[in-house]
Each structure stands twice: as structure tokens, then as C-alpha cells.
Homo-oligomer: A and B are copies of this chain.
């Protein structure tokens, strides 16, 4: 009753989070002309352990060949399909401050299955200007132009993030990447991932502070 249509093989969240890494590593190998790779080599390239890699791949009914390894092109395609990257996803960036501006100009999305198609802001001074070949529009305009499934990237100041999220969700957005340093609450069925730059630095700071005193005996068993 609860896990009704568990027809699709269930893929662990931790595995899903690593699939993009594998895909990246595979693309790199492919560009270097490698066409077969062992779990050991691929794990090395992706920065994980080989046993974990094999288990991850086994979840998507992988087609490795024992004694040989994995076919790079084949595996690459397999993972792409699993992640839903056969076709590009349309992305709207909301909030055209420093960060939004940079994200709009950032080339790293296009090659990885995403196409930034709309830039949204509510500041009249910014609306209408052109950034990276796109005109900045307001929410009303986005509502008119965006009938499809889109992914929203939130790059607003924290105080505006919740409202921006609400508006996006009202347009049918179900996936949000939140760069605003705040908690946003969303209804069930909407997926939010957050990227908080300052938080990452603070975690580093913790280890940096700790490390100064303790690394000498932890990092090296003897000395």
C-alpha cells in the first residue's frame, strides 16, 4: 500500500548523489579515447572506493563485463538515462544579483544537460537589461513563457527567497536549487537542494582550527 509502485528499481539517495560524479569521470575518460574502464580506475577518477562504485552501478542493473570492466560509452549513456539527461532541462535563474549574474554567465551548465532559459528579477532597474544573451524578465512574464517543466535556481537575497520560491512553485516548479542562505519551506512533492557558500567555509574553518592542534598525531600514526 505504501510502497505501491516500487516497480522501478529503487536507487539509494547516496548512490544518486554520486552518479553525476561518475558521469563526469566517464566524460573525461571518453574524451581521452578510453573506451573500457575497470571499477578500480573509474573509482580513482571519481574519487570514491571501487567496491562502492560497483555497488552503485549494480543498482542500475549495470552491464560490466567480468574480467574486463565497463564500456565507457555504454555506461555513460546508461547513467545519463537514469538521471534523465537525454534531453536538456530548462532552467530559470531567479534573482539577478552578483551570484545570479555569474550563474547566468557560467558555461558549466550547458554541457551537462541544462539550458538556462530565463532570468528573473523584480527590480525594475534590472528587468529588461540583457545578461549573457538573455533579457531579464519579471515573474509575470515568466508565468506567460514557461509552460513546461522547469528547474528554478534561487539566487535572491535571503529575505526574498521564500516569496520567490512560493511564486515559482505556483508556476509548477517542483525542483529548486537554493543559493540563498536561509531555510525555505515548500509543500510535499517539491524537492529543494541548497548550496550555502558561507556554511561550507565555516565547516572548513572548524577543521582548520581543530587541525592546527591535533593533526600532527592524528594524520600520522607515528612520529
Contacts and interface: CB of A to CB of B under 8 A. Distances in A.
Interface of A: 1-5, 8, 16-17, 19-21, 23-25, 28, 45-47, 82-85, 89, 91, 98-99, 101-103, 105-109, 112-114, 149, 151, 153, 174-177, 181-183, 185, 188-189, 191, 193, 195-215, 217-221
Contacts of A46: 183
Given A21-B183, A83-B205, A189-B211, 15 more contacts: A1-B221, A8-B214, A16-B207, A20-B198, A20-B202, A28-B182, A82-B206, A84-B206, A98-B102, A108-B197, A109-B197, A112-B202, A149-B212, A177-B201, A191-B204
Question: Quick one: copies of this chain in the complex?
Answer: 2
Contact of A106 (B1, B99, B185): B99
A103 B197 contact: yes
A24 to B, nearest CB: 6
Contacts of A24: 181-182, 199
A213 B197 CA distance: 33
B183 A16 contact: no
B207 A175 contact: yes
18 contacts: A3-B218, A16-B206, A20-B198, A47-B183, A47-B185, A83-B205, A84-B209, A89-B205, A98-B105, A101-B102, A108-B181, A108-B197, A108-B198, A112-B181, A114-B201, A149-B212, A193-B203, A195-B195
